[in-house]
Amino acid sequence: MFEQQKVHIEKVDEITVSPLSNKPQEFVRLLPLHEETKHRSIQRRIKPISLDEDKPEGHTRFVCISDTHARHRDLIYNVPDGDVLLHCGDFTNLGKLEEVIDFNDWLATLPHKHKIVIAGNHDLSFDPRLMEDIRKTKREGGYRRFQFLDQISEKYTDDWQSVLSNCTYIQDTELKVNGIRIYGTAWNPWFGGWAFNMKRGQPLLDKWNKIPGDGIDILMTHSPPAGQLDVVQPRSERVGCVELMNTVQLRVQPKYHVFGHIHESYGISTDGCHTFINCTTVNKELAPSNKAVYIDFPTPEGA
């Protein structure tokens, strides 16, 4: 079981942009050096619940995976059963229709009663802004990367849920399962101009500001917050979002924050108040070798 939440962090109503938005490494380095932020700097690894362990009575079991990158049929570990499957994006490599259909077919083979999926930066065709851009440059005869995506019918890209018929696809939305509040969003810090890329600072904060501040239990994002499971190799550099960490620790305070994206930083950690899970399935060599991670969440009375 995860250890108890010990640290109290004072809640605020509003987050303002940090002067260190573009310097997550520096933001994390400075946290323990200031009296006002010291208590937010804890990073402790937590042991996962063994996949053989029975679900405790009165709990809802979430099975968290991410970053399968169209390798879902090559997983080294089977996805274990549970009440709810959570997938935190990068389920395709390029957002091609055939990749999405195959992922959806694979989802049908899994036993979970509920399946909740968000997109990642690799699920290109799920970003309406990017698709509009691609179609516009095609109409104007210009060159653009990813132009192969313009062959996907608007009928699908305007309504991916009709293709992803074996799960609930969410984007900037909240969902309740067994009385447990879940929020999911694909936005991630700009890196190479892929899907749901957004500039650090105010643009990303505007997206995080859509997350309700009144008791989300499980937050799903594609990318990590600055300071927890966000280290890229080979230079051990932190690339998580500063505004996302401020939002999680100070405004939203979900019990669990689940994400993927940084393949080098699979694992579970805590700041003493929240539990962070990077459940990327592929490792840094892109081998689909990481196990799913369980969350056993106490089911609220009457749910």
Please give the residue ranges that form the binding site for Mn ion (CB under 5 A): 67, 90, 120-121, 261
Q: Which two tokens stand for residue 72?
A: 């879902």
Nearer to Mn ion, 67 or 127 (CB): 67
> Environment class of residue 134 by beta-carbon count within 10 Å: exposed (0-12), middle (13-18) or buried (19+)?
buried
User: Which residue is closest to Mn ion by CB?
Assistant: 90
Nearer to ligand 5GP, 83 or 90 (CB): 90
> Buried b vs exposed e over 8-23: b needs ≥16 C-beta within 10 Å?
ebeeeeebebbebbeb
For residues 299 and 303, give the distance between their C-alpha atoms in angstroms, rounded to a whole number.
Answer: 7
Cα→Cα distances 18→204, 243, 263, Å: 12, 7, 26
Q: Left (φ > 0), alpha (ψ -120 to 50) or beta: where does 115 sit?
A: beta
110 binds, among ligand 5GP, Mn ion, none (CB under 5 to 8 A by kind): none
Q: How much of the chain is helix, strand and coil, in % rounded to 5?
A: 25, 20, 55
111 preceded by cis ω (within 30°)? no
Q: Which two tokens stand for residue 39?
A: 């208590």
User: Which residue is closest to ligand 5GP by CB?
Assistant: 263
Q: Smallest distance from the beta carbon of 66 to ligand 5GP, in angstroms?
A: 10
Nearer to ligand 5GP, 100 or 262 (CB): 262
Task: Give the footprint of ligand 5GP on residues 251-290 (CB under 6 A).
Answer: 261-264, 284
For residues 188 and 230, give the distance between their C-alpha atoms in angstroms, rounded to a whole number.
Answer: 12
Q: Smallest distance from the beta carbon of 194 to ligand 5GP, in angstroms?
A: 7
87 binds, among ligand 5GP, Mn ion, none (CB under 5 to 8 A by kind): none
Q: Smallest distance from the beta carbon of 193 to ligand 5GP, in angstroms?
A: 12
232 binds, among ligand 5GP, Mn ion, none (CB under 5 to 8 A by kind): ligand 5GP
Q: Which two tokens stand for residue 83?
A: 């009440």
296 in contact with ligand 5GP (CB under 6 A): no
Q: Smallest distance from the beta carbon of 94 to ligand 5GP, in angstroms?
A: 11
Cα→Cα distances 133→13, 105, 138, 142, 221, Å: 35, 29, 9, 11, 24
Nearer to ligand 5GP, 92 or 253 (CB): 92
State the binding string over 106-145 for ligand 5GP (x if CB under 6 A, else -). Answer: ---------------xx-----------------------
Which of 189, 225, 227, 254 forms a contact with ligand 5GP (CB under 6 A)? 189
Helix (H) or strand (E) holding 225: none
How many residues lie near ligand 5GP (CB under 6 A)? 12
Which spans of this chain sit near ligand 5GP (rule: CB under 6 A)?
Answer: 90, 121-122, 189, 191, 232, 239, 261-264, 284
